[in-house]
Every structure is written in structure tokens, then in C-alpha cells.
């Protein structure tokens, strides 16, 4: 089977998007509800992975923390929701690791 350069570029683009959409940030984004009307939650769902998820996530957290300290209740709620999603993700990962380690023994 032969593929064109255009098809190859499309395949590479799709695979790159799949890799960028894996990991803790993507998992947390799936656990946080969408369309809540909270601009901070909306911003969390549109984080770009261009410079790595940590850089984008750190910028979002810094902005939300700054706004929450200034009395913005939507920012404070968004931080709580996102923290809970990451906690759930970490607990799931720890439980999976525990199960894997128990199976090996």
C-alpha cells in the first residue's frame, strides 16, 4: 500500500495530537465538567500543549490563584475542581500501581 506525502503528514499530525492529549493534564481535563459557565474552567479545557502541559498548566494555576486571592470566587471554585480531578487521577494511578505490584509478587 502506498500513501501520499499529504496522507503521511496527516497521519503524523494525528499521532502527535494523540501523544499530546495523553497524560495527567488530559486525564484531569476529562474529569472536570465542561460548559459550567466558569471562565476559568473554560480556560482549563483549552490549555495548549505547545510548550508542554506543565508550562501551560502552571500558567493557568498562577493566574487562577492570583484571581482567587483577589476575591474572584469563580477562580477559587475552578481551582478546587481541578485539584479534585488531579487528586482522583493520582489516586487511580496509585491504586493501579499497587495492583500491578501485588500481581508481580
- One digit per residue, pLDDT tens: the chain, 105 residues? 788 988 888 888 777 666 656 667 777 777 788 888 888 888 887 775 445 555 567 778 888 899 999 999 999 999 998 888 888 877 877 776 665 555 544
56, 49 Cβ separation under 8 angstroms: yes
The pTM of the whole model exceeds 0.85: no
H-helix segments, the chain: 5-20, 24-31, 39-45, 53-69, 73-104
Q: Which of 23, 21, 17, 18 is nearest to 89 (CA)?
A: 23
Q: Where are the domains of the chain?
A: 24-104
User: What single DSSP character describes residue 35?
Assistant: -
Query: What is the reported pLDDT for 99?
Result: 56
Distances (CA, A) of 43 to 11, 58, 91: 28, 13, 25
Amino acid at each position: 500500500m502506498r500513501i501520499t506525502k499529504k496522507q503521511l503528514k496527516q497521519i503524523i499530525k494525528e499521532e502527535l495530537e494523540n501523544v499530546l492529549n495523553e497524560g495527567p493534564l488530559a486525564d484531569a481535563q476529562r474529569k472536570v465538567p465542561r460548559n459550567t459557565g466558569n471562565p476559568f474552567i473554560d480556560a482549563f479545557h483549552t490549555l495548549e500543549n505547545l510548550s508542554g502541559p506543565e508550562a501551560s498548566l502552571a500558567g493557568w494555576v498562577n493566574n487562577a490563584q492570583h484571581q482567587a486571592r483577589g476575591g474572584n470566587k469563580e477562580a477559587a471554585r475552578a481551582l478546587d475542581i481541578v485539584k479534585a480531578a488531579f487528586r482522583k487521577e493520582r489516586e487511580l494511578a496509585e491504586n493501579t500501581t499497587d495492583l500491578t505490584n501485588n500481581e508481580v509478587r
